[in-house]
């Protein structure tokens, strides 16, 4: 693995640490994604549910399993809103995207992809890949079991 070059020209004059830039960047991305999803009438959880259902119909338990434990209790309410919007249908305990939900999900996906492209517009792909590898390594060093 190659070393990531240290570029003093891009370091903030105050010498702000990595944690500052991670927190700032995550906050900016989260806010922009939330704003984009809100324009489409979705929460981030609902967007995650739509993505999951794009792959295949799922049971309620399967949908809940895709969320961290502290968020699982809210899944039923999020799915209920998607059903009310006619983006999801349920038969027994199997949830499926409707054609309207599939179309809406694709439209939202395009908006999120445009945001990702905007965020990384002047960053070469290899630098993005390096950044992800480094952040995963840091997460692993800090004890994340899946990094």
Tell me: the pLDDT tens digits for 116-143?
999 999 999 999 999 999 999 999 999 9
Over residues 83-105, the pLDDT tens digits come to 999 999 999 989 999 999 999 98
Name the pTM for this structure. 0.72
Cα 80 to Cα 17, 71, 76, 83, 93: the distances in Å are 43, 15, 6, 5, 13
Per the structure block, which two tokens stand in for 44?
């981030």
Q: Which domains are seen in the chain, by residue range? A: 20-142 (1.10.10.10)
């Amino acid at each position: 693995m190659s070393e990531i070059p240290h570029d003093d020209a891009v370091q903030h004059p105050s010498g702000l640490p990595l944690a500052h830039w991670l927190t700032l960047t995550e906050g900016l991305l989260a806010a922009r994604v939330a704003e984009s999803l809100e324009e489409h009438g979705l929460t981030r959880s609902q967007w995650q549910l739509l993505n999951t259902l794009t792959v295949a119909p799922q049971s309620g338990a399967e949908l809940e399993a895709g969320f961290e434990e502290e968020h699982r209790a809210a899944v039923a309410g999020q799915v209920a809103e998607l059903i009310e919007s006619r983006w999801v249908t349920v038969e027994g305990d199997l949830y499926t995207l409707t054609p309207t939900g599939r179309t809406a999900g694709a439209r939202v996906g395009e908006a999120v992809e445009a945001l990702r492209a905007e965020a990384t517009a002047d960053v070469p792909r290899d630098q993005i890949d390096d950044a992800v590898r480094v952040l995963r390594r840091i997460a692993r060093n800090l004890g994340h079991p899946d990094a």
